[in-house]
Structure formats: C-alpha cells, structure tokens
Structure 1
Amino acid sequence: MALTATGLGSGLDISNIVSVLVDAEKVPKETIFNKTEASIKAKVSAVGTLKSQLSTFQDALAKLQDGDTLNQRKVTTGDSAYFTVSTTKSAQAGSYNIEVEQLAKPHKLGAAFSADKTQAVGEGSLDLSIGGNTFTVAINAADTLETIASKVNSDTDNTGVSASIVTSDAGSRIVFSSNTAGTDSQVAITATDSSGTGLNDMFGSANLTTLQTAQNSIMYIDGQKVTSQTNSVEGAISGVTIDVTKADINEKSILTIANDNDAVKETVIGFVDAYNNLMGAIDQLSSYDIDTKKAGALQGDSIIRSLESQLRNLVSQRVDVDGTETALYSIGISTDRYGKMTVDDAKLTSAINSDMDLVEGLFATETTGLANKLDDLANNYVKTGGLIDSRNTTYTKATSRLDDQREAFTLKMEQLEARLSKQFNAMDLIVASLNQQSSGLLDRLNSLPGVVRNS
C-alpha cells in the first residue's frame, strides 16, 4: 500500500527538509535579484531627478538667451486707458506725451434689404476687391443670402472680406466687412447679372450703404502727428510698439521708458540659483556619505561625472563680446571649489548699470554666449533620444533581463523542489519497507521453538 503522507515511513519532516534545502539555494540568489532591482529603480529615479533639475535650469537659461528678454525696459503709462506699450532692447530711456485722436476701423458695406433671407437673389457674379486684390464669386439662380455669404467667406481667393447676415426690423441684408482696419483696406463690390437685375438690385453700387467708414488711427507723440493703418503703431519711437485702445484728443498720457536694471539683476541671480540647485542635485546623486555609508544612486556613473565636468568648464570660460573678453567673474559671479556660485551684489549691480551690452553679450551671444552654450549642453541630456533617454533605455533592458532571470530561476527552484521531494519520498518508502521487513523478521524469530523471551 502506498503512503499517503510524507515522512511516515522514516519519521522525518520531509516537507521541511526540502523547504530548507531549496531556501538554502534560493534565498541568496533572490537577495541578489532584489538588490539589483532596487539599484535599477534607484538609478531610474536618479536620472529622472537629474532630468527635472536640468529642465529647471533651462528655464532660467531661457531668460538669458534672448537679448530682448535679458535687456529689459521698465514702461509706465500712468495707468492710461488709451494705449498699451511693448518694447525691445533698442528702446531708449525717455518720457513722451501721448494723445490718441482716433482709432483705426475697418470698412463695412451693407447690401439692400430682403424681406426673406431664404429667397433666391439672382444669377450672375460678384466681384469683390480689397486693397487692390479682386476675387470673383459665381452666383447661381437658386442661391440665397446665406449661400452667397458662405461662398464669399469660403472662396480660396478671398483676400480679407467677411460676409455676414444681419437681420433687423428693416429685413435681412449681407454686411461685407474688411478683415483689417485702415483706409488701405476698403471693400468694393461690382455686381453682374446674367439674367434679370436681382444682383444689381441688391449689390449694385447704388444699393450699397456704408455702415462704417474705414479710418486710420491717429495719435500725437509730443505734439507730432502719427497715422497708422492699424491700432498698432510700431517704430514711431525706436524699439517701441504702441497699441491704441481708446481715443480722446483732450486726454494726455505720459509714457515713460527706463532701463529695468532690477529685473536684469533678478534674472541673473535666478540663473545662479538654478545652477547651484543643479550642482547640489549632482552632488547628492553622486556622492558617498561616510556616516551612513550610503552611496548616491549615480556615484561613479559616467553620465553625471561628464555633466559636472562640462558644466564647470563652461562657466569658467571667457567670452568675446565685440572684441572685449569677459567672464562671469567680471560681473561679480565666482565659483568655489565645490562648483557652487556666489554673487558679489555690488559688482553685479555696477556691471549692469555701467555696461549692460557687455552683460548681454556674455550670456546671449548666439553661438558663444554662456546661456546658449549651457542650454545646448543641457539639451544633449534632456532631449528626446538624448543621453538620459539612452540611459533609461539601458535600465529598461536591464529590468527585462532581470525579469527573465527571475523567471528562469523560479522554474529551476520548482524543479529542484520537485526532485528533492521525489528523492526523499522514495527514501521514505524504502525506509518504511525496511522497517516493515525488520518487524516481520523479528516476529518470526520470536516464534521459533526454544526461543526464550525475556520478561
């Protein structure tokens, strides 16, 4: 009869013995797997942190890469409701009296009224022109006001006319509007009937009504008249764009433009802070803590050692600005032996106030400016397909290999457990059989004549 439970023949706890033997081989290997997995996850997290810090650093660099953004102007208009102002770095400091006489308006023409906008108008064509450009719309006999307006708006040759239907107490009519303001963009319409007079009756020059006269914007800068086709006046003051929003010739506003050196200084200090934060993150990710005996996830990793080396090299470089060499230390920014920057506030303020062009050139020169060079370096790491993406691909492959190794090892341990269980169970059956034979032999020996049993 087969045994139904292991260990009955030998009296051994076979299940526990097999478990201990399997664990003796499995536990050390699983410990290695877990340690490798934790290391990969730590590295993935670390390069994610590095990428985030580099992106933040790039945000700070973006404010230094463009001369217009760096070399800022402070604009005050006395809370004027009549205009708003934007400037470039070429705007010179100064104060101006501004008066707005009128706003630019687009031309609008209204066709004759129709009692029913769903009725057909006529057959022929409409020639529409604006700014010297003309396009033709064919009108079919069954076309209604809505159809005609739709044809005008969707015509591929339409160079700037919008048609809409307005319904009032007098009936429905098509209103033709120029998409741009100013006297150079007036709308003209010529109707041609192929049968009857329906189109001319509605769109002929005698039946068109001017709903809004085209006009230019007019303003005065220190008493000098400035006319523009639009409500945006650019170049009347060098480096300044004035957008007029309201007109009243009797209201005078004062526009003041000044160099915004405080904003420039804040931008430069923002760069220093971002750089120090990046270097701090690099140090944390790559250092070794003697007290805790713990290493950063990227300690000794080439990706971070190379980045740190290139950053230190770039910020120590001199830049040629129109024949004058300058560097960060020239404007009061120094770097210590740990790679961290410090700012000499007085020296930075003096540099910005005395030679802003030199400060701008140091950072924003297209190919040699520090901000552009540093951004190129950072981009090599964070861009799609860059060094960090490449490293993450390596980690993904390593994780996949680890999963395969785990799966193979799990199968190996299952096979080992099955083999040991089979061997010990076979041994148990043999021991049970031997015990049974021994017991039977003893019984027969005891039953032989002359055998004296000890009591």
Structure 2
Amino acid sequence: MASSILPGTGLGSGVDIQSIVKVLVTADTGAKANQIKRQTANNTAMISGVASLKSALSVYQAAMKTLNDKNAPAFNAYAATSSDDKIIKATANNGAVAGSYVVNVTQLATSSKVASQVFLEGPTKAIPAGDLTIEQNGVVHTVTIGSDATLESVRDTINSQLGDKGISANIVNEDGGSRLVFSSTTTGEGSDISVGGDIAELEILAETKMAGSGAGYIDQQAKSAQLTVDGLPVTSKTNTIDSAISGLTLNLVDAKSATITIGANNEGLKASVQKFVDAYNTLVKTVASLTATSKDADDNVVLGALTGDPTSRSLLADLRTQLATVGSGDQLTTLGQLGINTLKDGTLEFSAAKFTAAMDNKKLGGDVQELFTGTNGVFERMNAAINPYLETGGILDTRNANLSKTQKGLGDQQLAIDQRIESLTASLTKRYVAMDTLVGKLEAQRNNIISMFDAIEAQQKNS
C-alpha cells in the first residue's frame, strides 16, 4: 500500500482524524486483507513443499539408479577378489561359481600409434588440399582437408571428425621437425591405423615401422592381450575380458600373475539392501515432515507445508503398493523374505538376522538381484510409480503450475486491496478534514458572536 501523510488531531474539532480513518478503513478492508495474507502464506509454503517433495523424490530415484548401475552391480550373489588389484581387477555376477583361479598375464592389449614423416618446417607446415583416408579394422574414414591448411589445422580437423570414433591426432615436435601422430582407443591385434588418400606427404602404412624421418608405426603394432587361466591360454583384443571365466569379468592392469577368488557376497548384498531401505526411509520421513501437524510454544496447531495435500498421500500409497507387489522370481518373491517389513509410520525395518538366515539356510543370494533389478523388479516398479510425478509436465509440475497461478491471483487481490485501502483512506481523510474545517469556522463564528455580546454588555455597564 502506498504511504500517505494523515493529519493528526483536527485543529478545528480536536478530533483524532488519523485514528478514526484507520479504524474505519480497517473495518472495511481488514477481514479481506487478513484472508489474503493467510492464503498467500499457505500457498507460498505449499510451493516450497512441492519443491522439497520433488527434490526428495529425485534423491530417492538417484539412489536406486546407483544401486542399479549395470557397470557396478550392487546385488551380485558372488564377489570376486584379486590378490593384487594393481595386476588384475575382477568383478563377479550372478553367473559366477565359487572357486579360485590363477591368472597369469603375459601381454596386455595395446592400441595402434602411428606417425607421419618428419616435417622440417614444423607445425605450421602448409598441407595441400585433398582427402585423407584413415583405415582401422577394415573401416575407412574420409577426412577432407581444405585449402590453406597447415599441419595444425589438419590435426584439428581429424580430431573434430573422428574423435567420437576413438581416433585422435596430435603433433609431436622432435629434434629436427614435427610429425602428425595418430592414436586410437581400440586395442587388439589387427587394429593398426593406416593413412592414405590424396595427400602423399601424410601417407602412413600400418605394416611399416617408423625409421629415420619416414612414416610408420611407433615402436610396435597393436597387440592383443595374452594370458593363461590355471594354465589354459586365453587371447583377448581388449584388456577387459568377460568370457574367460563364466560369471567373471577381468580387467587387466599389468603383465603379471594374480589369484582371483570367488565367494558368496552375503555382506555386500546386505549392505546394498540396507542402502535401499535407508533411501526409502529418508523419502518417507521427508514426506512425513512436510505433511505433519505440530504445536508451538503457545499450544497453537502448526501445519506442515503439505498437510492435507492429496498429492503426498497419493505418492506414498503408490510407493507402498510397489513394496507389497509380489515379484516374478521362483524362490524369492517378496521383500519380507529378506527381513524387510513396513512399520506403522510407513518406514521400513530391516532384520539383519532374518536376511542372514535367508542367505545361509535358503540360499537366496542368487535371487536378490532379480527381485530388485530384474524385469518388473522393485526398482522398475518404483521408477514406474515415481515417473508420473517427476516427469516434465507431470503431477508435481502441474501442481506447482496451479499453485503459481493461485499465487498470482492472490498477488492481484493484494494489489486491489492495497489500492482500496489507499483510496478509502484518502476519501475519508478528505471528508474528516472538511468536517474539521467547517467545525473550525463555526467555532470562530461562535467566538465572534460571544465577543460581540461581551462588548455590548461592557458598554451597557459603562453607560
């Protein structure tokens, strides 16, 4: 509301005009103003609550994504350990079998690295226009070099066009000149790079070793990894091998020997289940705090940002349905079999003793992954329930849009009531000032009449 200067006590009447006007304006607008204030505060809290709910859901979904990471499985029934991770790193999946294997790496897989002839002029050497044909593993990539090119611009063009294919180029400045050097992320025998095309100066033959100022491969051609598993020979084009031992992935780091041991992953499974329970409970507690009621120091009821909000109730109901849904496994079909149960407040409790019994006595380790990450598993069902709330234009976006619309409407009402207060204040003040002026004039006339009669009375006494 715009401020205005109100007169205080009327000079003519002695009436407190400001207080009277304030009381009258409040009587006219106070109820509506207070209603708008309450509604604005509640609506602002709900907007904040929806944002908090959306954030909590995103955190819960991110936790499930981490537990469902295909590159770092969290629910494997078996765990693989290496006697030396600096030589071999090992990861087991549910297809593994308990046992121990001696793996001797005699050669790591390497990639191709080839260099052009030496250019005495250095990186700014002018390169004629034409097409370069860069071949690897039978695949030919054509890179067109435009006019006014230099060795540097050729490098940049190659990186721009072939970087996403694992082929890159750089310039190495050696004593006496510069070379264009090609590298690749592709490893294994037969993956050597060759360069041909219209620019003879940049031709590189994959089978020729670099010598003197000539072009060729540097040091050695690309090689495949060579190793033995318990004495049995294995060859791989890459240093990541997932077919040598059933259910086991080997990441070769150094050409030495290490022992790989595979055993039950009960502790790892328990830790992963606990992480899921913790993530779910964090979400439920957040929703509970947003929808709770409490009392302040004066015993007044304090509502949460989303108390009574149907969206929150609907969300929790959807999630609880997924917890109770029976899975499609053979032996393990419910969370209760793993010691996970729902408490009265909606959170989950996890019985480590019941989980251990399920692993040791019922041998359910191999089924845990299927229950959580399999088709129609816990994570898939949970994400299906959450997505309608989180997706763009979904339930929470729509809820927020409606609240924002309401907020704008309340803002418009506030502006209107402010204008009403300002207008009414000005109008009433004008009337009371006019009244005060009239009273002042009447009072002046009264005083004049009294003075006149006093003068007449004085004359009569003196005559």
- Shorter-normalised TM-score: what interval? 0.7 to 0.9
- Equivalent pair of 2:74/2:268 in contact (CA under 8 Å): no
Q: Do structure 1's residue 96 and structure 2's residue 101 form an aligned pair?
A: yes
- Equivalent pair of 1:109/1:212 in contact (CA under 8 Å): no
In structure 2, the partner of 1:366 is 375
- Equivalent pair of 1:39/1:297 in contact (CA under 8 Å): yes
CA separation of 1:427 and 1:161: change in aligned 2, threshold 3 A: closer
Q: Do structure 1's residue 258 and structure 2's residue 263 form an aligned pair?
A: yes
In structure 1, the partner of 2:348 is 341
| 1:86 paired residue among 85, 91, 97 | 91
Cα-to-partner distance string for 1:79-108 (whole Å, 9 max, x where unaligned): 243222334333333211011111223344
| 1:213 paired residue among 220, 232, 256 | 220
Task: Write out aligned runs for 1:389-408 (5 A).
Answer: 389-408=397-416
**2: CA distance, partners of 1:7 / 1:141:** 92
Q: Which moved more, 1:135-144 or 1:358-367?
A: 135-144
In structure 2, the partner of 1:9 is 12
- Equivalent pair of 1:123/1:199 in contact (CA under 8 Å): no
Residue 44 of structure 1 and its aligned partner are, at CA, apart by 2.4
- Equivalent pair of 2:225/2:237 in contact (CA under 8 Å): yes
Cα-to-partner distance string for 1:200-257 (whole Å, 9 max, x where unaligned): 9998979555532222221111111111223332311123332222224xxx311112
TM-score, length-normalised on structure 1?
0.81
Task: Write out aligned runs for 1:3-402 (5 A).
Answer: 7-63=10-66, 65=68, 68-71=73-76, 73-117=78-122, 129-134=135-140, 164-169=170-175, 171-175=177-181, 177=183, 180-188=186-194, 208-214=215-221, 215-248=223-256, 252-289=257-294, 292-322=300-330, 326-353=333-360, 354-367=363-376, 369-402=377-410
Q: Which moved more, 1:136-145 or 1:184-193?
A: 136-145
Residue 39 of structure 1 and its aligned partner are, at CA, apart by 1.4
Q: Secondary structure at the match of 1:254?
A: strand
- Structure 2 gap segments, 5+ residues each: 1-6
Cα-to-partner distance string for 1:330-357 (whole Å, 9 max, x where unaligned): 2222223443322332222222441124
**1: CA distance, partners of 2:186 / 2:349:** 53
In structure 1, the partner of 2:442 is 434
CA separation of 1:107 and 1:266: change in aligned 2, threshold 3 A: closer
In structure 2, the partner of 1:416 is 424
TM-score, length-normalised on structure 2?
0.79
Output the amino acid matched with 2:136. Answer: I
Q: What is the RMSD of the two structures over their aligned residues, measured on CA atoms?
A: 4.0
Residue 135 of structure 1 and its aligned partner are, at CA, apart by 5.8
**1: CA distance, partners of 2:15 / 2:350:** 77
Residue 402 of structure 1 and its aligned partner are, at CA, apart by 1.4
Bigger-Rg structure (1/2):
1
- Equivalent pair of 2:332/2:367 in contact (CA under 8 Å): no
CA separation of 1:89 and 1:452: change in aligned 2, threshold 3 A: farther
CA separation of 1:38 and 1:358: change in aligned 2, threshold 3 A: same
Q: Secondary structure at the match of 2:187?
A: coil
Q: Which moved more, 1:170-179 or 1:29-38?
A: 170-179
Cα-to-partner distance string for 1:273-319 (whole Å, 9 max, x where unaligned): 33333333333333444765333332322112222333333322322
**1: CA distance, partners of 2:407 / 2:273:** 42
Q: Secondary structure at the match of 1:236?
A: strand
**1: CA distance, partners of 2:161 / 2:303:** 69
**1: CA distance, partners of 2:204 / 2:63:** 61
Q: Secondary structure at the match of 1:366?
A: coil
**2: CA distance, partners of 1:159 / 1:398:** 52
- Equivalent pair of 2:270/2:352 in contact (CA under 8 Å): no
- Structure 1 gap segments, 5+ residues each: none
Q: % of aligned pairs identical?
A: 33
- Equivalent pair of 2:45/2:305 in contact (CA under 8 Å): yes
